[in-house]
Amino acid sequence: MLECTHHLVVFNANSRGAYESLAGARVVRLRTIHDKYLTVDDDMLGLRQQHDGSLVRAWWSVESITDNRNQLRLRFQNCFGLDLAAPLSDFSLQRLAGGKAASAVLRQIRGLHDARKKWARIRVGSRFMVRSNFEDYFLWADPSPGSDAAGAQLPSSSNTLDPFLWDVEILESDAGASSSMVVGPSSSLAAAEIGPSSGPWCSNMFFTLQRK
């Protein structure tokens, strides 16, 4: 007799079909529904949204991996060579005991850090949600006007799905760079020398631009 005011949405986070369109992808951009790209700050750790997708800081190398439960997951790495990770919260190491107890805690810490860097790609219509293996953090973009904040957050009952929906644009794959790749203000030769496949690219990119 009670009016139902909520509905349940079930996502199949283990579906291999959600990864087929990324087969062979090596470098991607993550774009919000507001046409902003997920970029890394100059401090190498902070995340924000920017409209300029030609920035190297908007490029993420992507690696498909299998976790310890044989589930397909993704690992994203920014141009500084650091992995995209969910925040490690509600966990502190206090009074570390010796012997076997210490070893068990250290193994747990390593496991938590590893889980924070693995992301499930969940299809929602034509877009995707990106969920961390660590608790239930989702990659999100702050929808408030004028804000460029981005990060990983637990969805609350007041949120719509919009801040958690992303388009994944492939810039480089095993079959070659896609036609949507933007090389920015440097020449195509310079872009090829500092492109995503050459490892951590940021410092090289900035040096090339200053030299020109």
What residues does 32 pair with on adjacent strands? 166
Whether the per-residue pLDDT at 70 is higher than 60: the answer is yes
What pLDDT does residue 211 have? Answer: 42
Q: How confident is the model at residue 55 (pLDDT cuts 50, 70, 90)?
A: very high
- The answer to whether residue 165 is domain-embedded is yes
- The answer to whether residue 3 is domain-embedded is no
Counted domains in the chain: 1
- The answer to whether residue 1 is domain-embedded is no
Of 14-18, 71-75, 86-90, 162-166, the least confident: 14-18
Domain region containing 164: 18-206
More confident: 158 or 31: 31
Mean predicted confidence (pLDDT) in 90-94: 51
Tokens 């993550």 belong to residue: 30
Q: Answer whether 148's CB lies under 8 Å from 32's CB.
A: no
CATH number reported for the structural domain that contains residue 158 in this entry: 2.80.10.50
Q: How far apart are CA 91 and CA 155, in angstroms?
A: 20
- The answer to whether residue 26 is domain-embedded is yes
- The answer to whether residue 7 is domain-embedded is no
- The answer to whether residue 212 is domain-embedded is no
**CB atoms inside a 10 Å sphere around CB 174:** 8
- The answer to whether residue 10 is domain-embedded is no
Q: How far apart are the first and last CA of the chain?
A: 72
Of 33-37, 156-160, 176-180, the least confident: 176-180
- The answer to whether residue 53 is domain-embedded is yes
What pLDDT does residue 74 have? Answer: 93
Whether the per-residue pLDDT at 104 is higher than 90: the answer is no
What pLDDT does residue 7 have? Answer: 52
Whether the per-residue pLDDT at 50 is higher than 80: the answer is yes
DSSP for the chain, please give it: -PPP--------TT-GGGGGGGTTEEEEEEEETTS-EEEE-TTSS-EEEES-TTSGGG-EEEEEEE-TTS-EEEEEE-TTS-B------S----S--SHHHHHHHHHHHHHHHHHHT-EEEEEETTEEEEEESSTT-EEEE--STT--BEEEE---TT--SGGG-EEEEEEEETTEE-TT---TTS-HHHHHHHSGGGS--HHHHHHHHHH-
Q: pTM of the entire structure? A: 0.71
